[in-house]
A and B are shown apart, each in its own frame.
Chain A
Amino acid sequence: MSATLAERADAIATEFADLDPRERLELLLEFAEKLAPLPPQYAAERDAGHNRVHECQTPVFLWVDLEDGRVHVHADVAPEAPTVKGFVSLLADIVSGATAAEVVAFQPNLVERFGLAQSLGMVRMRGLQAIAHHIRRKVADAAAK
């Protein structure tokens, strides 16, 4: 992937911006459906309850790896929470392959940029923002090691 994180975010934001509120939900659902299954090596940690995003209302498990200076996100979200799953998938798309510095510098005001506020409402937006902050924090921690 050659595009920068900001370019990928802009491309997705543009895609959302061209849609009406109902279609935005459809697109978010497409993201939910394409979230890669959790690699088996993480299953045991998840089952033990580790790596959970506690700010989030449904069980969301996130791993952030740095490999050769590039960020990789792996996640597991319950199927009964497609909104959260879609958002995690979207974030994973944006940050995967980026450098840690790019992720940490990235201001994830995504929900506003994607015009999802109207489709989701304020309360849900806060939970989703928390996931974006969680990823940044994890990347910052991994980079500091």
Chain B
Amino acid sequence: MAKPYAHPEVLVSTEWVDEHKHDPNVRVVESDEDVLLYQVGHVPGAVKVDWHTDLQDESVREYIDKDRFAELCASKGIANDTTVVFYGDKNNWWACYAMWVFKLYGHADCRIMNGGRKRWELDNRSWSRDPEPQYARTNYVAKDADLSIRAFRDEVLKHQRAGKPLVDVRSPGEYTGELLHMADYPQEGALRGGHIPGAVNIPWARAANDDGTFKSAKDLDKLYSGEAGLKRRSSVIAYCRIGERSSHTWFVLQYLLGYPKVKNYDGSWTEWGNTVGVPIEKGPGKPAEVAETVRSGA
């Protein structure tokens, strides 16, 4: 029998979503890199949460606060006991990001539709171009931010000095310091190229198959405990440029492989690579064999 995921209940298939898309206890949430994709076509009944305009504060480099998160959920008809299923473009990259924010504020039942938009399309399921549906408001109560999944700079520095595991999920070129950003990604500048000393490089999209679904538990285990040498019980911090790609890796480690202590460092390279006085390492460090661009589809 194939090795199961640690928490298989957090992954649902496109078929499950098709069957439950109008279930009042389920809210399907699309979250994409491209802000217009939802309008081009979405899972019928799904609402849209934009990573940038809905989840980020505009005046502080910060996520929306607890009250705004509660308002967002209330306005989308999401109650505290709603099953929220996220999906999106690019291997569910932004879906994982949105789920991370929902987990930050303690939403209990969050799931990812395996394969996202790509799998839905490949399965020939129907797209809706209707305006975003309006559901009855709820009285959502958000919890205080759960900092067990979020790392800040000083903590990362301590973690690094203690020689604890860090996963850099950017492309090999960004990791070695040759590139300050991915050629295909938006420029989010940093003054220094390289990585946090001691971090191992496992580009995030290596966790995904060509159809956007997650790799099997066995293959993921090979990647993270084999190649990266991570230990399931240790505290792991994942980072990228702004904490988006690393939320995909956070999801994989925490839910598919069952690592109990995984944090996303959302300050990531745009903070670390611009911070006065923190150490940086250049060059290959620990090996990563496959370029991210091979599978990212970005």
A82 close to B186 (CB less than 8 A): no
B188 at the interface (CB under 8 A from A): yes
A25 close to B35 (CB less than 8 A): yes
B186 close to A28 (CB less than 8 A): no
A57 close to B188 (CB less than 8 A): no
A83 at the interface (CB under 8 A from B): yes
A32 at the interface (CB under 8 A from B): yes
- Main SS at interface, chain B: loop
B298 at the interface (CB under 8 A from A): yes
Give the number of residues in A that approach B within 8 Å (Cβ atoms).
28
Give the number of residues in B that approach A within 8 Å (Cβ atoms).
22
Inter-chain CA distance A51–B37, complex, in Å, is 25
A118 at the interface (CB under 8 A from B): yes
B52 at the interface (CB under 8 A from A): yes
Inter-chain CA distance A126–B169, complex, in Å, is 23
Inter-chain CA distance A119–B298, complex, in Å, is 22
Q: Which residues of B have CB within 8 Å of A95?
A: none
Q: Which residues of A have CB within 8 Å of B56?
A: 121
Q: Which residues of A have CB within 8 Å of B174?
A: none
> CB < 8 Å: which of A26, A54, A118 contacts B183?
A54
Question: Considering only CB atoms, which chain A residue lies closest to B185 in the complex?
Answer: A57
B187 at the interface (CB under 8 A from A): yes
Interface hub of A57, A84, A130 (most chain B Cβ within 10 A): A57
A120 close to B34 (CB less than 8 A): no
User: Contact mask B27-40 → A, CB, 8 Å, 1/0?
Assistant: 00000011111011
Could you tell me the distance in whole angstroms from the C-beta of B175 to the nearest C-beta in chain A? 19
B53 close to A120 (CB less than 8 A): yes
Q: Which residues of A have CB within 8 Å of B40?
A: 29, 79, 82
Could you tell me the distance in whole angstroms from the C-beta of A138 to the nearest C-beta in chain B? 18
A55 at the interface (CB under 8 A from B): yes
Question: Considering only CB atoms, which chain B residue lies closest to A80 in the complex?
Answer: B89
From residue 49 to 108 of chain A, which have CB atoms closer than 8 A to chain B? Answer: 54-59, 79-84, 86
A34 at the interface (CB under 8 A from B): no
A127 at the interface (CB under 8 A from B): yes
A-B contact pairs, 20 of them (CB 8 A): A25-B35, A25-B39, A29-B36, A32-B36, A57-B185, A80-B89, A82-B34, A83-B35, A83-B36, A84-B34, A119-B53, A120-B53, A121-B52, A121-B53, A121-B56, A121-B58, A124-B186, A126-B187, A127-B186, A130-B187
